[in-house]
A = this chain, B = another copy of it.
Amino acid sequence: MAKITKKKEQPIILVTNDDSINAPGIKALVEAVKDLGRVVVVAPDKPQSGMGHAITIGNPLRLNKVHFIDGVEAYTSNGTPVDCVKLAVDKILHRKPDICFSGINHGANHSINVIYSGTMSAAMEAAIESIPSAGFSLLDFSLEADFTAAKTIVKKIAIQMLSKKLDKHLLLNVNIPAVPEKLIKGIKVCRQAYAKYKEDFVERKDPHGKLYYWLTGIFVNFDKRKDTDVWALKNNYVSIVPVEFDFTDYEVKKKLESWKF
């Protein structure tokens, strides 16, 4: 009896972001990977920057099939980036995708930004779900940002990730300097720099005389060593920081054991 040989299934690449389906960055990401497998997009229907790892508990979620790029299945949701990943796995794919890519974010997600970033939180949610993932960010906020170099980087990393046996919880935070491709010196594996935003709320008065505040802040890098993402980006390298979601501080844990409660 002839052995039935099953054609190898295409890998499924789940794509999401936090800048919404209408952002040029997600289009660039899909264009970079669409020849490498079956790409399915599930993205927020409106910008969700700074949403961190928010999920929607008190409101119902919607999913709408939309036209995005020919040949690419795409949906929008009214939820957060993390909701999009949860909905994609549970309600659209009905299986785990092979990898999940989030981005390409308009603006940096290096150093402390990983905590606030909807882009990285979506990728982290996928990693928790045992889907190897990466978040991509270009250091250019502009709607007219040039994603040419970023697309090359995304494709390179996708090829690596699809050809290797990966840890199921692998999560990469990839940041790309906003310079022409020929100026990029290479890809550097880094650690997260210790940096923060020094808040500087802009105080205004409404027409009724009541105060309100706009959150703004100045980025301050306290971490001057050369193995950080901030250093790499400043020196025109692409930075890759592997991220974990076990937040336990094992060193402090040892110290705390001597506390007397």
Interface residue ranges, A against B (CB under 8 Å): 47, 49-58, 60-63, 82-83, 86-87, 89-91, 112, 114-116, 121, 124, 128-129, 156-157, 160, 164, 167, 170-172, 186-187, 189-192, 194, 196, 199-201, 203-204, 210-215, 240-250, 252-253, 256-257, 259-261
With A90-B201, A128-B196, A191-B248 known as contacts, the answer to whether A54 contacts B52 (CB < 8 A) is yes
A54 vs B115: C-alpha distance in the bound complex, in angstroms?
9
A51 vs B192: C-alpha distance in the bound complex, in angstroms?
23
Please tell me how many copies of the chain the complex holds. Answer: 2
A211: which B residues are within 8 A, CB to CB? 62-63
A127 vs B141: C-alpha distance in the bound complex, in angstroms?
28
A60 vs B114: C-alpha distance in the bound complex, in angstroms?
23
A167's nearest neighbour on chain B, judged by CB, is B252
- Kindly identify which residue among B55, B186, B240, B252 contacts A242, using a CB–CB cutoff of 8 Å: B252
